Amino acid sequence: MQAPHELEIARALPPPGCGPAQAQRYTQWLATHHYENFNVVSWLLPRRLHQHFYNVYAYCRWADDLGDEVADPARALELLAWWEEELRLCYAGRPSHAVFIALADTVRAFDLPIEPFLHLLSAFRQDQTVHRYATWPEVLGYCRYSANPVGRLVLYLCRHRDAERQQLSDFTCTALQLANFWQDIARDLDSDRLYIPLDALAAHGLAAEDIVARRFDARYVALMKDLIARTRELFAAGAPLARRVDSELRMDIELFSRGGLAVLEAIEAIGYNTLERRPALGRSTQARLLGRALLSRLFAPWQSDKGVSPSLAGGDA
């Protein structure tokens, strides 16, 4: 199957079988020309890891766009199956697509297992057929495949493979995914997707039809406060991860958590009305987060034994 040229990311795609250098230039271009709440690779990350992060990001971005930017669910499922075939060719040592030509080097260098890549595809397939979630555990189950594999891949790139840090990463990545859900409610409704659990809606006297109709009232405010509180608990559960990775990686890990918490603050700042507005992080907010992370790093040697106050260590974003 040929690459779907209707996707924006395919326009600069090198031809099949291109050389590694050309493939890596493409993944770098892809990663540096698309920002959401945070840059894919910051200047804080060791330069030796930049290209590998670009390569993993390119895989995730393609998979996400195949599942999210293709209007016809049947066509999206077909393309996701094609993407899995390309992934398996990569692991068989026969990559053809530029993303996998670049990714093959990263897979070899870090001995990346195939499962996180496959789990992401499972989530994007689920998006084509499941548009409502009855319970909180069902939403968390979706996050297990849509978000947690990304954190585990990052840990592999940092050469951390133990179960304890993977669990902490899962907490953080699930929280990031949930923060993105609450941020993007209006956008997801345009695709008839709703990630707020139906039982959470019912607990606040709401139904899915109220959200689809974009009825903003006190019930919705109470619902968002509840969802944000649950999400903050997950961020708190994953917070120790930043202190359990190599010091040169600590700030990047911490910035992602702080960025997610800042999204929750941005929702609060607009009065919780994510039915009509999508809160975003401005450059000033990102600069503030970086400053807090730098302070946290400066005071890190004293945090465990001298009890640095949250205001000095950065506290909650």
Instruction: Identify the CATH number of the domain in which residue 38 sits.
Output: 1.10.600.10
Dig out the tokens for 208 from the structure.
Answer: 């899915």
- Nearest CA to 96 out of 18, 180, 205 is that of 18
**Straight-line distance from the first to the last Cα atom of the chain, in angstroms, rounded to the nearest whole number:** 45
Residue 287 has pLDDT above 70, yes or no: no
User: Are residues 135 and 200 both part of a single domain?
Assistant: yes
Give the single-character DSSP code of 10: G
User: Are residues 209 and 146 both part of a single domain?
Assistant: yes
User: Are residues 168 and 290 both part of a single domain?
Assistant: yes
User: Are residues 33 and 135 both part of a single domain?
Assistant: no
Q: Is residue 241 a part of any domain in this protein?
A: yes
Residue 281 near residue 37 (C-beta atoms within 8 A): yes
The residue type of 291 is G
Q: Is residue 43 a part of any domain in this protein?
A: yes
User: Are residues 205 and 277 both part of a single domain?
Assistant: yes
- 75 Cβ contact partners less than 8 Å away, ≥ 6 residues apart: none
Give the whole-angstrom CA distance, residue 315 versus residue 108. Answer: 38
User: Are residues 170 and 80 both part of a single domain?
Assistant: no
Give the whole-angstrom CA distance, residue 135 versus residue 122. Answer: 19
Give the single-character DSSP code of 93: T
Q: Is residue 140 a part of any domain in this protein?
A: yes
| Alpha helices, H only, 130-217 | 136-146, 148-157, 163-183, 185-189, 198-203, 208-212
User: Tokens 């499962």 identify what position?
Assistant: 115
Q: Is residue 215 a part of any domain in this protein?
A: yes
The three-point CA angle 86-87-88 to 5° equals: 90
User: Are residues 110 and 134 both part of a single domain?
Assistant: no
Q: Is residue 41 a part of any domain in this protein?
A: yes
- Nearest CA to 83 out of 69, 66, 68 is that of 66
Give the domain-ending residue among 80, 114, 148: 114
For 189-243, the pLDDT digits (tens) are 999 999 999 999 999 999 999 999 999 999 999 999 999 999 999 999 999 998 8
Beta strands in 111-255 (DSSP E): none
User: Are residues 292 and 192 both part of a single domain?
Assistant: yes
User: Are residues 149 and 65 both part of a single domain?
Assistant: no
Give CA separation, 175 vs 6, 198, 257, in Å: 32, 19, 8
> What is the count of structural domains for the chain?
2
For 140-195, the pLDDT digits (tens) are 999 999 999 999 999 999 999 999 999 999 999 999 999 999 999 999 999 999 99
Give the domain-ending residue among 84, 114, 144: 114
Dig out the tokens for 196 from the structure.
Answer: 């707020």
User: Are residues 195 and 289 both part of a single domain?
Assistant: yes
Residue 56 near residue 149 (C-beta atoms within 8 A): no
Residue 151 near residue 43 (C-beta atoms within 8 A): no
Q: Is residue 2 a part of any domain in this protein?
A: no
- Nearest CA to 106 out of 161, 153, 52 is that of 52
By residue range, what is the domain housing residue 173?
Answer: 130-300
Give the whole-angstrom CA distance, residue 8 versus residue 276. Answer: 27
Q: Is residue 296 a part of any domain in this protein?
A: yes
Q: Which of 103-117, 119-133, 165-179, 273-287 has the lowest mean pLDDT?
A: 273-287
Give the domain-ending residue among 114, 149, 181: 114
User: Are residues 61 and 177 both part of a single domain?
Assistant: no
Q: pLDDT above 70 covers what percent of the chain?
A: 84
User: Are residues 249 and 281 both part of a single domain?
Assistant: yes
